[in-house]
Amino acid sequence: MSAVIIVLFALFGLAVGSFLNVVIVRVPAGESLLSPPSRCPLCEAPIAPRDNIPVVSWLLLRGRCRSCGEAIPAGYPLVELGSSLLWVIAAIRFDGFAIPVAVAYAAFFSVLLALSVIDLELYILPNRITYPSIVASAVIIPLLSLAYADDPAGAILWSFVGGLAFSGFLAITLIAWELIVHKEGMGLGDVKLAVLLGMWLGLLHPVLPLHALIASSVLGVIVGAGVMVVRRESKPFPFGPWLALGTVVVIVFSGPILRWQGFDDADVETSAPPATASFGVVDGQ
């Protein structure tokens, strides 16, 4: 992929990140995403377009509101930079694929970023984001498959199987945990998120949801244990961000993961499941 395309993805990712900040603040509060225009939460002064340039405006304002001087949390530019990075990662990972495929996965990564930040801050995964994302994916994935897959039916099938399998396993784990430990573990929000994750993982290869589950569990255990050691107490720990991170890691490194598991290029071209052959996951990054 050319440097120009990567730069465009980076810039668009910044713009998307600015919108994600609105989503992160307003969705949990039940507010509209469209109105009123962005404003300072303290003095409620409208934010002028010149003060709404991703990252740049925060730096020029030295992290403070132009009207009242209230500190603007560093989380805002960090989300914008994180979104930009995820768009660049998607562009590089799907180099050689049709650009709409890279854009679709970049948008998927952006949704995961918004959900992760909300879950870290509020311990919730809003249905207002999860449900529309699942519905949109159920429309976009078939369109991508029909446009670019050698076997559209196979690609669509494995995508939906991935969503059901990932969420089903988490649901069983949730029920078993509560029956055995008699304490609340994961929330249903994690199970619903797994539907979304499994769909985009299954589109690339039907075994990837399993790898994402393993990666997410390992990340969650390591980070959770570290948090408990630092805090010296047991507190609620959101699992959604680690499901999201594990999924992104597995998507980015899906080629090496499948080769390690024994899928080589010949397997992909001849006998691998249709979704794999359709999108050439092993031939990708």
What's the pLDDT score for residue 40?
Answer: 86
d(CA 244, CA 196) in angstroms, rounded, equals 10
What's the pLDDT score for residue 249?
Answer: 96
pLDDT one digit per residue (tens) for the chain, 285 residues: 689 999 999 999 999 999 999 999 999 999 999 888 888 888 888 998 999 999 999 999 999 999 898 899 999 999 999 999 999 999 999 998 899 999 999 999 999 999 999 999 999 999 999 999 999 999 999 999 999 888 899 999 999 999 999 999 999 988 886 777 666 666 789 999 999 999 999 999 999 999 999 999 898 888 877 777 777 666 677 889 999 999 999 999 998 888 888 776 533 432 233 334 345 443 444
What's the pLDDT score for residue 234?
Answer: 65
SS3 46: strand
Task: Kindly report the three-state secondary structure assignment for every residue of 80-116.
Answer: HHHHHHHHHHHHHHCECECHHHHHHHHHHHHHHHHHH
Q: Which residue has the tokens 């594990």?
A: 246
Residue 46, strand partner residues:
39
d(CA 95, CA 253) in angstroms, rounded, equals 13
Contact 202, 281 (CB under 8 A): no
Q: Which has the closest alpha carbon to 103: 16, 40, 223, 181?
A: 16
Cα three-residue angle 117-128-223, rounded to 5 degrees: 25
Diameter over CA atoms, the chain: 64
What's the pLDDT score for residue 158?
Answer: 94
What's the pLDDT score for residue 279?
Answer: 53
Contact 109, 248 (CB under 8 A): yes
Task: Kindly report the number of other CB atoms within 10 A of residue 135's CB atom.
Answer: 11
What's the pLDDT score for residue 258?
Answer: 87
Q: How far is CA 134 from the centre of its chain?
A: 12
Q: How far is CA 125 from the centre of its chain?
A: 12
The answer to whether the peptide bond before residue 36 is cis (omega within 30 degrees of 0) is yes
